[in-house]
Structure 1
Amino acid sequence: MSELTKTVALFVLSNYFTILYSILALWTLTLNYVKNIFLSSSSQKRKLEPPACLFDPKYGLHKYIKVNNVKLHYVESGDSSKPLMLFLHGFPEFWYSWRHQIVEFQKDYWCIAIDMRGYGDSERPEKVSDYKLDILVEDVRDLIRQLGREKCILVSHDWGGIIACRFRDVYPEVLDAVILLASISRESWFKCVFSDFKQMMKSWYVFFFRMPYIPEQLLQLNNLNVFDKSMLVPGKDSITSKDIECYKYWFAKDFAFTYPINYYRANFAYSLPEKHLEENVPMLVAHAANDLYIRHSILDMMKKQYDYIETTIVKDCRHFLQQEEPEKVNKIIREFLIKHKL
């Protein structure tokens, strides 16, 4: 398929799915509005106080730093003289998604878990264009520089992995290793969408998020139960209702979903494959066996795109694997780092 054909096909399909899911979303919003007229008690206001577990000292210190003209919030734990392990979260998350990894690795690494721009307690630039992938990459590059380091181990999940892949393409010399959890490069995602219809169906929300205003309204319905549905797993207690309250605290705020969704709006258009520097950067991609959003076919795509890549599938696990199965994921990360003497 030629690049022109891909561009036209994506334009047609994306507009079809955008219109389809927007109609469904509007219908859902209308029903919810009518329901709340008669059942006003179902409309619940969120508490203004942050949950206490966000400030548990075992996770480290809360700090702020100005990078790439944006103020970022981050949590720091461990000895700053040890190797830097930098964590990039996904959608819709913030630094707290890495709580299990911070506790696991803080004795051996200097752990920094950030709220990316537009998330949590970090600054929220207004323009959609402020969330272009190359700008997000420069946030990470400037952060490492501001922290006084030349290299880091980059650990990422979901959208954080898209940024990590592009960072590896542009700045491989800054990386000791890059680890992706339930994620894929932007280039490989486009290839998967065109070659795997089931992956296209799993990616419905990417098309839907192109619409203004409607997606964020839908996500905030029913006391933000999108977090209960996507993160809580029956029979597992690694993600608790208290953890869910941490997410609801941040995402109940005004426009809290708008800026994270801008990551999709700013980077959706198909473009020619990006070149990447051929350097020996160890890369690990861990995929969740029961991921609701990404199919196993991503692993083959990633192997074609990158050399020095290792892949694994975490059994019995859904998309938020570092929270759902922290012991398994921590073991996989630890073994990978030991193998590469990091």
Structure 2
Amino acid sequence: QVVECLPRKLAAVRSLLFWALVYGYCGLCAAVHLLKLLWSIGRGPARTFRRAAREQPPACLSDPSLGTHCYVRIKDSGLRFHYVAAGERGKPLMLLLHGFPEFWYSWRHQLREFKSEYRVVALDLRGYGETDAPIHRENYKLDCLITDIKDILDSLGYSKCVLIGHDWGGMIAWLIAICYPEMVMKLIAINFPHPNVFTEYILRHPVQLFKSSFYYFFQIPRLPEFMFSINDFQALKHLFTSQSTGIGHRGCRLTTEDLEAYVYVFSQPGALSGPINHYRSIFSCLPLKHHMVNTPTLLLWGEKDAFMEVEMAEVTKIYVKNYFRLTILTEASHWLQQDQPDIVNKLIWTFLKEETKKKE
């Protein structure tokens, strides 16, 4: 009996240590950000709470060369999803899933590029942009996000697609390929490893734990949304433009209008809660029970990613039973499809056109 009880006790201890790490690090992150807030208020309270009025969207968000704005209501969930579609109906579907803090516009270079041969759809994920945002965090569990993509495909009249995901959208893309392999003709993940690789790495490597601190900070109610909004959304601007986390000096920098498009979308009332809620259930959903990928897969990675260790890209290949190609771009940032759009598009074209044979 003692031998039989030992595995259960070890599992309980591991679980206790895991949640102690999660909540302990949450507390540490909260303390750091509270100190940053106090420092900002001390330097200039008026500037800290200043926010510019943004009533009209920037013109780039209605650029007709990017495609048509469309909406679809999902029958089961009742949620209305917004997406931008380019290319003729009836062509093979290419579905694009953005990361945080992004929205459909992060795929502007790919909407223009691939519409010649695909029906390209750049989705606003649940809680983002013009897509409906349920209030409760339980509505953002990974199961719900996976079901969203399946329902979107059905609503668009497709049974399968080329699936491309960046950052958090990459996480969802991996999960779709794992749970619904028949839906994915080819999988392209950008700067996000296989979910199990990420889970193991974040727990065993202090550097990645530090780089992923925002995952823990986002577990705290309300404070993350507030911290993103102070100083007229300076934290949001900083992510895309700073030397440490932004698009690299050799990249295709965001224009002033591009940056304003991001700030406009996330400055709308309540617009930050949905995106941040995506992260508030992640620790109860990982690791995965089923994890092998049987779809031809391309993993693209910006070596200068400030949030993800590049070693995770190499480890990912053990989870892909089918054809797998990894390309790491030097001098490229986390925002890869915006940072190096010409190179990324060329690599995607090559992958789409080549015959991929399953591993023996």
2:39 to 31, 35, 40: 31
2:310 to 280, 285, 296: 296
- Which residue of structure 2 lines up, in the alignment, with residue 10 of structure 1? 18
1:225 and 2:240 aligned: no
In 1, distance between residues paired with 2:327 and 2:48? 47
Deviation at 1:278, TM superposition (A): 5.9
Deviation at 1:306, TM superposition (A): 2.0
1:283 and 2:297 aligned: yes
1:22 and 2:22 aligned: no
Which residues in structure 2 correspond to 1:200-279 (within 5 Å)? 200-232=209-241, 233=247, 234=249, 236-269=251-284, 271-276=286-291, 279=294
Query: Match of 1:173, SS?
Result: helix
Deviation at 1:3, TM superposition (A): 5.2
Q: Which amino acid aligns with 2:68?
A: L
8 A contact 2:251–2:332 mirrored in 1: no
Q: Which amino acid aligns with 2:300?
A: A
8 A contact 2:85–2:120 mirrored in 1: yes
2:104 to 95, 102, 106: 95
In 2, distance between residues paired with 1:326 and 1:221? 31
Query: Match of 1:153, SS?
Result: strand
In 2, distance between residues paired with 1:319 and 1:182? 6
8 A contact 2:80–2:132 mirrored in 1: yes
In 1, distance between residues paired with 2:299 and 2:215? 21
Q: Structure 1, unaligned stretches of length 5 or more?
A: none
In 2, distance between residues paired with 1:61 and 1:272? 38
Encode CA deviations 1:293-337: one digit per residue, 9 max, x unaligned: 000121233112222222110111111010011011111111111
2:84 to 75, 98, 112: 75
Q: Percent identity?
A: 32
Encode CA deviations 1:206-240: one digit per residue, 9 max, x unaligned: 11111111111111122212233222344644421
Q: TM-score, normalised by structure 2?
A: 0.89
Q: Which amino acid aligns with 2:177?
A: R
Name the CA shift for 1:60/1:36 in 2 (closer, same or farther; >3 Å): same
Which residues in structure 2 correspond to 1:38-49 (within 5 Å)? 39=46, 43-49=50-56
Which residues in structure 2 correspond to 1:137-156 (within 5 Å)? 137-156=146-165
- Which residue of structure 2 lines up, in the alignment, with residue 59 of structure 1? 66
8 A contact 1:192–1:297 mirrored in 2: no
Encode CA deviations 1:31-52: one digit per residue, 9 max, x unaligned: 3334444x45972323211000
Deviation at 1:186, TM superposition (A): 2.7
Encode CA deviations 1:276-302: one digit per residue, 9 max, x unaligned: 4663x1111111100000001212331
Q: Which stretch shows the higher mean deviation, 180-189 or 145-154?
A: 180-189
Name the CA shift for 1:105/1:4 in 2 (closer, same or farther; >3 Å): farther
8 A contact 2:199–2:286 mirrored in 1: no
Query: Match of 1:312, SS?
Result: strand
Deviation at 1:271, TM superposition (A): 4.2
In 1, distance between residues paired with 2:286 and 2:111? 36
2:144 to 110, 135, 143: 135
Which residues in structure 2 correspond to 1:318-333 (within 5 Å)? 318-333=333-348
Q: TM-score, normalised by structure 1?
A: 0.93
8 A contact 2:49–2:230 mirrored in 1: no
Deviation at 1:272, TM superposition (A): 4.8
8 A contact 1:82–1:109 mirrored in 2: yes
Which residues in structure 2 correspond to 1:99-114 (within 5 Å)? 99-114=108-123
8 A contact 1:3–1:272 mirrored in 2: no
Provide the aligned length of Structure 1 versus Structure 2. Answer: 339
In 1, distance between residues paired with 2:170 and 2:131? 19
Query: Match of 2:278, SS?
Result: helix
8 A contact 1:151–1:173 mirrored in 2: yes
In 1, distance between residues paired with 2:311 and 2:19? 23
- Which residue of structure 2 lines up, in the alignment, with residue 173 of structure 1? 182
